[in-house]
Amino acid sequence: MNAKADGTMRGKVAVITGASRGLGRNAALKLGAMGAGVIGTYNRNAEAARTLVDEIAKAGGQAAVLELDIARCDTFGAFADALCKTLEDTFERENFDFLVNNAGIGIHAPFIDTTPEQFDELVNVQLKGPFFLTQTLLPYLHEEGAIVNVSSGLTRFALPGFAAYAVMKGGIEVLTRYLAKELGPHGITVNTIAPGAIETDFGGGVVRDDHDTNQFIADNTALGRAGVPDDIGGAIAAMLSEGNRWMTAQRVEVSGGMFI
């Protein structure tokens, strides 16, 4: 990211889970470039998280990172305490404006072979974690703030091997509508972004690294290629912009026209 912060979101602070890599990292860079303060979370890769902070700072933005295992609901209280301290120490604030529930994992397994352990892991990371993290952080989300939940194109189209993963993302989309209804009186908007296939290390990097998979996606996408992180980070930033204040409870698919 070479551009200097443009200031269109100056004064705002975004919390982005899973910001050390992939789509979360790109969203953090995009929001940082628009002048928003960024608090990203990471699970294991502290070095990548620190690199993100440095990159945003070099572009004129401000960022911090905190460790978080989205599957561990029992740690969310301590995380909230650390978040409040970071808000006060780094941003001189008591609350934040945007929450992007992005952290996740991919498990590819045919329905017949999916194990209870795999299913439970997906529940904890993709559904239970975002549900209770949002609940925990809600007291610190500014009134008239915004939440973006990351889903998947796989809730609209079906590809073998992703049944359990897609079920979790379907749950996130239902949660989005309920949150929009219950938080609407506080002026908080809640929307879902549903990426198509993206060239990242997600799921072992198959979309990025396997030529046949990448070509299959390109051949079945209206815009003729697989997606890249820039396609999604920019879309998340746009969904959080002031011009989208009247949009809530919506599922926005950003897939380049995959399987239409």
Map out the domains of the chain as residue ranges.
13-251
Query: Can you tell me the distance from the alpha carbon of 256 to that of 24, in angstroms, rounded to the nearest whole number?
Result: 19
What's the chain's average pLDDT? 95
- pLDDT tens for residues 163-184? 999 999 999 999 999 999 999 9
Pick the catalytic residue from 42, 140, 165, 178. 165
- Predicted pLDDT at 3: 45
The SS3 assignment for 81 reads helix
**Yes or no: is domain 13-251 CATH 3.40.50.720?**
yes
181 Cβ contact list (under 8 Å, min separation 6): 249
- Find how far residue 31's CA is from the centre of its chain: 12
Number of neighbouring beta carbons within 10 Å of residue 245: 12
Phi-psi region of 252 (alpha: psi -120 to 50; beta: other; left: phi over 0): beta
- Predicted pLDDT at 218: 97
- Predicted pLDDT at 5: 56
- Predicted pLDDT at 2: 43
Query: Can you tell me the distance from the alpha carbon of 197 to that of 253, in angstroms, rounded to the nearest whole number?
Result: 11
- pLDDT tens for residues 66-85? 999 999 999 999 999 999 99
Does 165 participate in catalysis according to the annotation? yes
Query: Can you tell me the distance from the alpha carbon of 158 to that of 52, in angstroms, rounded to the nearest whole number?
Result: 34
CA angle, corner 53, sides to 50 and 57, nearest 5? 140
Which of 253, 260, 207 has the alpha carbon at shortest distance from 231?
253
- pLDDT tens for residues 140-163? 999 999 999 999 999 999 999 999
Q: Do 97 and 143 form a contact (C-beta atoms < 8 A)?
A: no
* Of 206 and 136, the one with more pLDDT: 136
Joined together, the tokens standing for residue 247 give: 């949009």
In total, the chain counts a number of residues equal to 260
